[in-house]
Amino acid sequence: MQEIARQRGIDRFLFASSSAVYGNATPLPAREDAPAIAPESPYAASKRAAELVAWSLSRRAPAMACTALRFFTVYGPRQRPEMAITLFARAVLAGRPVTMFGDGSMRRDFTHVDDIVKGTLAALEGAPRGFRAFNLGSGAPVDLRTLVRAIGEAAGAEPAVERAPVPLGDVDATFADVSRARDELGWQPRISLPAGLRSVLDWVRGNPAG
């Protein structure tokens, strides 16, 4: 990889990682330098393994910026249809029950895609040489009960809820400490959850499922 980068004059490597790398062992809010990082699923482990590849690359090519961006529960217009917020929004608008895992107490740090894009551009322009990880999250986690209620309020409907078991590998909570991205990249999230949900609902209304 470093040989390809050298031949093509590439001095930056940006990797889309995930908050999933932290697992349940990391104290919250999660910091990039947390002493305990224990992925709970194969997906999370693959992201952590790729981060280590980037770290190894930085050791072999110290002049290169090798950056891992740990995205926290990204949502927004054009989201994959099976992801929670889009799935919930379509169900509420159609008058179908929302399937909620567990008792609804799981918390997620939902981050709007517009903020993720701005954070990615900030890292592309300002990340330092060597390996560096950055959290990109809202820093304001909410539980699933609150999320479903907020979608209902934004849609002007009362959501019906069905319960389902929590999938294996799901973590209890995600919660980003974004101080490193703020201090080193000049980035911070701007879009509130209510505003973000409205953007999803507007897109879903204009793009009915096939």
The pLDDT of 58-72, averaged and rounded, is: 93
pTM of the model: 0.93
The pLDDT of 134-153, averaged and rounded, is: 97
Indicate the pLDDT class of residue 144, thresholds 50, 70 and 90: very high
The pLDDT of 120-125, averaged and rounded, is: 97
**What's residue 4's pLDDT?**
59
Cis peptide before 97 (omega within 30 of 0): no
Q: Which residues are catalytic?
A: 43
DSSP assigned state of 21: G
Q: Which residues pair with 162 in a beta bridge?
A: 99
How far apart are the C-alpha atoms of 210 and 207, rounded to whole Å? 9
Between 168 and 185, the more confident residue is 185
Percent of the chain with pLDDT over 70: 95
Element (H, E) at 108: strand 107-108
The pair of three-digit structure tokens given for residue 95, joined into one six-digit string: 């008058």
The pLDDT of 41-60, averaged and rounded, is: 94
Indicate the pLDDT class of residue 1, thresholds 50, 70 and 90: low
Indicate the pLDDT class of residue 168, thresholds 50, 70 and 90: confident
The pLDDT of 144-150, averaged and rounded, is: 97
